[in-house]
């Protein structure tokens, strides 16, 4: 069996994996980045909307190549049709770009390669390797049909929602049904949507989740839905709800579908611990994703960067034990934990509201002057007028 | 588990949702391992109802 040896093996070349690989390689570590598929960034499993502020934080220079649209704002809509429009001046950090993920992901992988990482395509990990003492020493994989072993001092699990590598290594990444959203998205053309606003429709049209319309230009948009796992009935619910919504919305009903994609997101506040001896989990694999929007690209990039920086330090001491990796745990929690927890609580409450209350909420937000609009400021208004909605997590607002 | 490959979008949602970690997505093919305990969560969650227990 062919054998590879490196310092760090990164499983998955999405944003989290590529960022981890880049920062490991920049730190001078021999890094191998594995991608199961035949193409990085495709097939798509994403609505492609991101905010902008974090890009600089993780050292990503915006490139016109992967920016499909620069958004002016966002629209939040109730099932009754009450809309609340956030414009750029007020939209704050929640508005940003619609990406071309197939180009964005390749650009991040390219950055990792330029930093010195080796990329192995069509290499799917099938398990972990432990030595005689039970210590994790690498991964088993199928690489273009060949069984291979990749030995490393530490594994970075960036295998996304599937999150199998962590589980093979003994970290429980299992989700509760409340913390799963089953999603489907159509790339639609011939529709009439605002060209530079991202639209979100909440309420019973998408139980426990929401419907999104993210414009891709020229009458094309990503039109998708997430439905909370607990509320799925095993009848292809996500597709049923989305098809019903499209049929009843005159802007969309004449649209045609160019591409269909599925994909799930976790909506919990992250794993209890995303490290163990000789393994670090990043991004969706660590269940670190905004529980209310299901947006995870910035979380993946941040955690990937933190992992790369911490692993670089660990390599200096030759210690990749759980204790040595704990600074990673501290970094992501310090940066994101409060917000993840707050949005997780808000998601649970939102899922419990009926359409009338949601409509009332949107009317109220519409009428209040809340300055820069972000989840934090929205919840602050809600706290004043609908205290029962934020009951249990007032302290985080 | 029976997979209707005419419906399956190979999104990997069932893989990440399986409490037994019994499913592996090999590009377009779903492989179910013997750890599967027939809990039915993948059937419940599949966005296009591509999974079933069969007859």
CA distance B44 to chain A (A): 4
Q: A211 in the Ramachandran plot: left (φ > 0), alpha (ψ -120 to 50) or beta? A: beta
Cα of first residue to Cα of last residue in chain A, in angstroms, is 55
Place of tokens 């499993």: A45
Residues A246, A211, single domain; the answer is: yes
Is there a domain that residue A68 lies in? no
Q: Are strands A73-77 and A83-87 parallel, antiparallel or unpaired?
A: antiparallel
Q: Classify A157 as helix, strand or coil.
A: strand
**A190: containing domain:** 176-266
Q: CATH number of the domain at B48, please.
A: 3.30.70.20
Q: Which residues, 6 or more positions from A211, have their beta carbon under 8 angstroms from its beta carbon?
A: A200, A201, A205, A223, A224, A225, A241, A242, A245
d(CA A39, CA A384): 49
- Among residues A343, A360, A380, the one where a domain terminates is A343
Place of tokens 């269940």: A287
Is there a domain that residue A94 lies in? no
Is the separation of the CB atoms in A262 and A121 below 8 Å? no
Q: Which residues of chain A have pLDDT under 50?
A: none
**B19: containing domain:** 2-52
Residues A24, A170, single domain; the answer is: yes
Q: CATH number of the domain at A201, please.
A: 3.30.9.10
Count structural domains, chain B: 1
pLDDT, average across residues B18-47:
96
Is there a domain that residue A59 lies in? no
Of all residues in chain A, the one with the smallest CA distance to B51 is A234
Question: pTM here?
Answer: 0.95
Residues A40, A123, single domain; the answer is: yes
The Cα-based distances of A220 to A256, A320, B46 in angstroms read 9, 47, 26
Is there a domain that residue A22 lies in? yes
Q: Are strands A83-87 and A275-276 parallel, antiparallel or unpaired?
A: unpaired
Given this model, what pLDDT does residue B54 score?
73
Of all residues in chain A, the one with the smallest CA distance to B46 is A236
Residues A127, A24, single domain; the answer is: yes
Is there a domain that residue A62 lies in? no
d(CA A195, CA A187): 14
pLDDT, average across residues B24-43:
95
Residues A195, A262, single domain; the answer is: yes
Q: CATH number of the domain at A20, please.
A: 3.50.50.60
d(CA A182, CA A95): 24
Per-window interface: A 203-232 vs B, CB < 8 A: 227, 229, 232
Residues A11, A142, single domain; the answer is: yes
Is there a domain that residue A248 lies in? yes
Residues A157, A214, single domain; the answer is: no
User: Which residues in B lie closer than 8 A to residue A227 (C-beta atoms)?
Assistant: 47
Is B43 an 8 Å CB contact of chain A?
A: yes
Residues A224, A327, single domain; the answer is: no
Per-window interface: B 18-37 vs A, CB < 8 A: 19, 21, 24-27
Taking Cα atoms as reference points, which of A37, A29, A3 lies closest to residue A105?
Answer: A37
Of all residues in chain B, the one with the smallest CA distance to A46 is B11
d(CA A151, CA A8): 8
**A345 DSSP 8-state letter:** H
- Among residues A327, A343, A359, the one where a domain terminates is A343
Place of tokens 């934990």: A337
User: Which residues in B lie closer than 8 A to residue A261 (C-beta atoms)?
Assistant: 9, 11
The Cα-based distances of A51 to A7, A69, A77, A212, A342 in angstroms read 33, 12, 19, 15, 19
- A124 and B26 within 8 Å at the Cβ level: the answer is yes
d(CA A245, CA A202): 12
Given this model, what pLDDT does residue A95 score?
66
User: How many contacts, defined by CB atoms under 8 Å, are there between A and B?
Assistant: 88
Render pLDDT for B16-30 as a digit per residue (tens, 0 to 9): 999 999 999 988 999
Residues A25, A143, single domain; the answer is: yes
- B44 and A229 within 8 Å at the Cβ level: the answer is yes
Is the separation of the CB atoms in A392 and A345 below 8 Å? yes
Is the separation of the CB atoms in A82 and A366 below 8 Å? yes
Residues A235, A262, single domain; the answer is: yes
Q: In DSSP terms, which residues pair with A143 in a beta bridge? A: A123, A146
Given this model, what pLDDT does residue B55 score?
61
């Amino acid at each position: 069996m062919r054998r590879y040896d490196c310092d760090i093996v990164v499983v998955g070349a999405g944003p989290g994996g590529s960022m981890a690989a880049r920062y490991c390689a920049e730190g001078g570590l021999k890094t191998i980045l594995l991608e199961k598929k035949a193409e990085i960034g495709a097939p798509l499993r994403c609505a492609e909307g991101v905010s902008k502020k974090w890009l600089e934080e993780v050292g990503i220079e915006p490139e016109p190549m992967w920016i499909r649209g620069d958004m002016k704002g966002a629209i939040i809509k109730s099932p009754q049709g009450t809309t609340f429009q956030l414009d750029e001046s007020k939209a704050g950090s929640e508005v940003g770009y619609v990406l071309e993920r197939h180009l964005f992901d390749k650009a991040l992988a390219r950055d990792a390669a330029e930093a010195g990482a080796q990329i192995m395509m069509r290499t799917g990990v099938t398990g972990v390797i432990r030595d005689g003492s039970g210590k994790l020493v690498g991964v088993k994989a199928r690489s273009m049909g060949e069984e291979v072993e990749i030995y490393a001092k530490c594994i970075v699990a960036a295998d996304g929602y599937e999150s199998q590598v962590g589980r093979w290594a003994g970290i429980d990444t299992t989700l509760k049904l409340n913390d799963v959203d089953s999603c489907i998205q159509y790339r639609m053309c011939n529709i009439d949507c605002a060209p530079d606003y991202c639209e979100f429709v909440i309420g019973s049209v998408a139980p426990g989740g929401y419907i999104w319309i993210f414009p891709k230009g020229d009458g094309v948009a990503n039109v998708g839905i997430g439905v909370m796992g607990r509320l799925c009935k095993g009848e292809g619910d996500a597709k049923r709800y989305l098809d019903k919504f499209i049929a009843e919305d005159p802007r969309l009903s004449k649209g045609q579908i160019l591409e269909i994609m599925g994909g799930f997101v976790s909506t919990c506040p992250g794993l209890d611990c995303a490290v163990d001896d000789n393994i670090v989990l990043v991004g969706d694999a660590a269940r670190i994703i905004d529980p209310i929007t299901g947006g995870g690209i910035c979380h993946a990039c941040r955690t990937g960067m933190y992992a790369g920086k911490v692993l670089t330090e660990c390599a200096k001491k030759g210690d990749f034990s759980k204790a040595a990796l704990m600074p990673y745990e501290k970094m992501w929690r310090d940066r994101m934990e409060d917000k993840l927890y707050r949005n997780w609580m808000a998601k649970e409450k939102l899922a419990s509201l009926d359409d009338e209350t949601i409509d009332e909420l949107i009317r109220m937000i519409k009428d209040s002057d809340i300055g820069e609009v972000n989840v934090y400021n929205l919840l602050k208004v809600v706290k004043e007028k609908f205290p029962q909605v934020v009951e249990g997590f007032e302290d985080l607002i | 588990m029976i997979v209707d490959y005419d419906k399956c979008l190979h999104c990997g949602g069932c893989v990440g949702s399986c409490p037994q970690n019994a499913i592996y997505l090999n590009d377009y093919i779903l492989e179910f391992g013997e750890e599967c305990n027939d809990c039915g969560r993948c059937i419940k969650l599949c966005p296009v109802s591509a999974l079933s227990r069969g007859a």
